[in-house]
Structure 1
Amino acid sequence: MYLVGFPLLLIPLALYNIIAFLFGLGFGDTVFTVPMMSGATLSVSTGDLLIILSILLLFVEILKATRFGVKSIVDHLLSFVVFVVALGEFLMVQQAATSTFLLFLVICAIDVVGGFSISIRAAARDYTVDGTHPIAH
């Protein structure tokens, strides 16, 4: 079941702000470590977890982009609003001037550009008359 009209990348944006403003944690703080077979220890930070969550949600957003219809357009517009808000926060808020937020901003941009381009291709593919493709003419 898809969440229609809800930009999923709003979740990591909200989590970032909660972590940065309410808890005051650093995004480089280690949350847990994983011993590797090589003998090395992998340290996973708060920022790493936020980016992992963002990438997983980006995958779901790209799946949602394959739908066609008015609800899909609204979903894309809301994703664009999340990107604009994140860009504004990145440029104007001191706590957002981190590499974690920059990576999140790139993920939001991929969501917007990828979502619109996939939807346009899906719409062009779905719009055929008598087996001919009207855009190809």
Structure 2
Amino acid sequence: MLTPVPLLIIPLALFNIVAFLTPSLDWSAPLALVSMLSGAQWKITLAEAFIATCLLVLFFEILKSTRISSRSLIDHLLSILLFGVSLAEFLLVPQAGNSVFALMLAVMLLDVMTGFSVSIRVAQRDLSVRPDAG
């Protein structure tokens, strides 16, 4: 079973490793060029691939939030902490001051909001109201 560690720490770590090891990295550099049936050429950049990876990880985070357990509260609190640390990094670290990091930050915020929303909704379904017998 997955531990109550936010999975979005993986893209954050990857971003930091790439950004700090290769400071002159061009996020708009093409990774692949795909020929479409229409004849158009789809250029996939490093930034787009990274954001797509973040969205895939977000999908698994949302799946994790549908479980109700004592660990889900810890997971939500760690997600808030991860968002806060990432926001501070975005504001204070020059390597993180770009659109790629801002979109990853938006994904983290969506994770926090969705995690609480889904947990509250699942908890409401589990709550049964018994009419007063008096």
TM-score (norm 1): 0.88
Q: CA deviation at 1:118?
A: 1.0
Q: Percent identity?
A: 47
Instruction: Specify the alignment match of 1:124 in structure 2.
Output: 124
Q: CA deviation at 1:23?
A: 2.6
Unaligned runs of 5+ in 1: 133-137
Number of residue-to-residue matches in the alignment: 130
Instruction: Specify the alignment match of 1:135 in structure 2.
Output: none
Q: CA deviation at 1:4?
A: 2.4
Instruction: Specify the alignment match of 1:49 in structure 2.
Output: 49
Instruction: Specify the alignment match of 1:93 in structure 2.
Output: 93
Instruction: Specify the alignment match of 1:111 in structure 2.
Output: 111
Q: CA deviation at 1:71?
A: 0.5
TM-score (norm 2): 0.90
- 4+ runs of 1 displaced by more than 3 Å? none
How far apart are the structure 1 equivalents of 2:126 and 2:81? Answer: 27
How far apart are the structure 2 equivalents of 1:26 and 1:10? Answer: 22
Residues 30-68 of structure 1: CA deviation (Å, up to 9, x unaligned): 111111122221111111111001111111111111111
Q: CA deviation at 1:122?
A: 1.1
How far apart are the structure 1 equivalents of 2:100 and 2:74? Answer: 28
The two structures, once aligned, show a CA RMSD in angstroms of 1.4
Unaligned runs of 5+ in 2: none
How far apart are the structure 2 equivalents of 1:36 and 1:73? Answer: 45
